[in-house]
Amino acid sequence: MRQPASSARAASSSAPGNVGDVRKANLARVLSVIAGAGEDQRLSRADIAQLSQLTKASVSSLVADLLAAGLVIEIGVHRDGERGRPSVGLILNPARCVMGMEINVDYIAAGLVDLSGKLLAHEILPSANHSSTASEVLAALGELSQRLQAAARAQGLMILGGGLAVPGLVNEERYTVLQAPNLGWERQDLDVAALLPDAKTRFRLFNEANASALAQQQLMDVKERDFLFVSGEVGIGGGLIIDAELFAGPQGHAGELGHVVIAPEGRACSCGGRGCLETIAGQEAILAAADLGAMVDSASRQRRIHQLFQALETGTEPALSAVAEAGKSLGIAVASAMRLYDVSTVVFGGHFAALEQWLRPAMEASLQMHAPSIAGQARLLCSPLGQTGALVGAARSVAGDLLEAPHQLVG
């Protein structure tokens, strides 16, 4: 296992500058131009030279290294009716991929994601993880991983790294889950080497909301470089993208919207606090307020969520007001977060996206009431990401690390 990206980045920035660094930077530059091109837009060396502002000579040399490293492949191009020597197309090697995985409360999932971020194959396995120990869950995920590794071998795919998303706070450097109350985990060291054994592999651990934010980024307009992703799962998480990069904060725990205080005299929260957003807009809180009981096992939650939607669709109280109350609280929390982060786009995922039609009116009214000066420019979107969102985001981010540091794979 290589070092996670953060420390690798720190190391490279603290290293002295020598001429070789220029090549590292330019390898990454060329690769980012290739990766930045559209789906089936095949750039030639000449195109890359123009886009990267490097000379054709440099580009040829750099591309040769990328070809040798297997990050890029040449692909024939036929341009009808144009003069001149035909160009050779260059694309990211579609036979290189990253394994994304997720452990959530009610399922585990894994998938193969290519360097362009496309999900090639995946498998989702229902699994009541709250009642399981970390090692049991990891064993099951390990099996899932092995199946996908076999699938990769069968298709000639090389796995260059992996990412795992969990619904809780993680220490990325130590591969430790610090707190995942909805899994019932606390301070669990994860033996990630067992998930993806190849020693040459780069592996990173993610918070579920952060990973989902990274997946959401792929769906946004490239100009939308700043947004907050709010993940409504059993808990409420948040992932912040600033200047097209994940803003994780000093310890990697930034964005945790679930425990923003929105009712100072409110209910006690599982975090020990009082009046947190999660006590009103979390899944359990909504279900409880909708008079759908308070049992916590996975099977019953699925059933109760189904009942909630039935009640909403028939316009039955107290379900309607439970969701409206959640929307109102969400509007307050989002108002504060938008102010503190200075973002004007917020994307809602998980149950918030599913509840959009009942949630949005109350949320917008609340935002208008508490922050009229920003409500006008606010863009509140709902995410189409499903259960593969977090694994795709985790894998995509690891793939991005590889594309940013191609010299590690060259020569």
Tell me the closest approach of the beta carbon of residue 71 to DNA, in angstroms.
Answer: 16
Smallest distance, a copy of itself to C-beta of residue 260, A:
4
Beta bridge partners, 103, equal 108
Does 34 bind DNA (CB under 7 A)? Our answer is no
3-class DSSP state of 1: coil
DSSP-derived 3-state class of residue 304: helix
> Rounded CA gap, 94 and 97, in Å?
7
**Is 16 one of the binding residues for DNA (CB under 7 A)?**
yes
Choose between 59 and 190: whose C-beta lies nearer to DNA.
Answer: 59
Strand ranges of the sheet holding 202-207, from the earlier edge strand across to the other edge: 119-126, 107-114, 96-103, 158-166, 202-207
Q: Does 22 bind DNA (CB under 7 A)?
A: yes
Between CA 241 and CA 222 the distance in angstroms is 12
Between residues 50 and 133, which has the closer beta carbon with respect to a copy of itself? 50
314 binds, among a copy of itself, DNA, none (CB under 5 to 8 A by kind): none
Q: Which of 199, 340 has the CB closer to a copy of itself?
A: 340
The amino acid that residue 56 corresponds to is K
- Is 80 or 243 the residue whose CB approaches a copy of itself more closely? 243
Tell me which amino acid residue 309 is. Answer: F
Across 6-150, the runs of DSSP E, i.e. the strands, are 72-75, 89-92, 96-103, 107-114, 119-126
Subset of 42-101 contacting DNA (CB under 7 A): 44-47, 53-58, 60-64, 81-88
For a copy of itself, the closer of residues 93 and 329 by Cβ is: 329
Q: Which of 43, 69, 220, 257 binds a copy of itself (CB under 8 A)?
A: 257
Q: Report the C-alpha gap between 328 and 67 in whole angstroms.
A: 54
Encoded tokens for 399: 């793939």
Q: How far is the CB of 341 from a copy of itself (least distance, A)?
A: 6
Structure tokens at 123: 């498998």
Asked if residue 332 binds a copy of itself (CB under 8 A), the reply is yes
Shorter beta-carbon distance to a copy of itself: residue 81 or 376: 376
Cβ–Cβ under 8 Å, residues 262 and 328: no
Nearest distance in Å: CB 336, a copy of itself: 4
Long-range contacts of 289-293 (CB under 8 A, 24+ apart): 289/318, 289/321, 289/322, 289/325, 289/326, 290/318, 290/319, 290/322, 290/323, 291/318, 291/319, 292/319
Closest approach of DNA to the CB of residue 42, in Å: 10
Work out which of 2, 273, 291, 360 binds a copy of itself, going by CB under 8 A: 273
The yes or no reply on residue 223 touching DNA (CB under 7 A) is: no
Binding of residue 23 to DNA (CB under 7 A): yes
Nearest to a copy of itself of 61, 344 (CB atom) = 344
Task: Dig out the tokens for 67 from the structure.
Answer: 């070809």
Number of residues that bind DNA (CB under 7 A): 31
Which residue, 64 or 158, is less far from DNA as judged by CB?
Answer: 64
d(CA 294, CA 285): 9
For residue 265, state whether it binds DNA (rule: CB under 7 A): no
Q: Could you tell me how many residues of this chain bind a copy of itself (CB under 8 A)?
A: 59
In the list 96, 204, 259, 351, the residue contacting a copy of itself (rule: CB under 8 A) is 259
- Tell me: does residue 252 bind a copy of itself (CB under 8 A): yes
Q: Considering the rule CB under 8 A, would residue 260 count as an interface residue with a copy of itself? A: yes
Q: Which stretch binds a copy of itself (CB under 8 A): 105-113, 238-246, 319-327, 349-357?
A: 238-246
Closest C-alpha among 255, 256, 330, 336 to residue 286: 330
How many C-beta atoms lie closer than 10 Å to residue 197's C-beta? Answer: 13
Task: Residue 226: count other Cβ atoms within 10 Å of its Cβ.
Answer: 17
Q: Is 373 in the site for a copy of itself (CB under 8 A)?
A: yes
CA distances from 296 to 3, 201, 322 (A): 38, 37, 18
By the criterion CB under 8 A, which residues form the site for a copy of itself? 15-19, 21-23, 25-26, 29, 52-54, 225-226, 238, 242-243, 247-257, 259-264, 271-276, 328, 332, 335-337, 339-344, 366, 369-373
By the criterion CB under 7 A, which residues form the site for DNA? 16-20, 22-23, 26, 44-47, 53-58, 60-64, 81-88
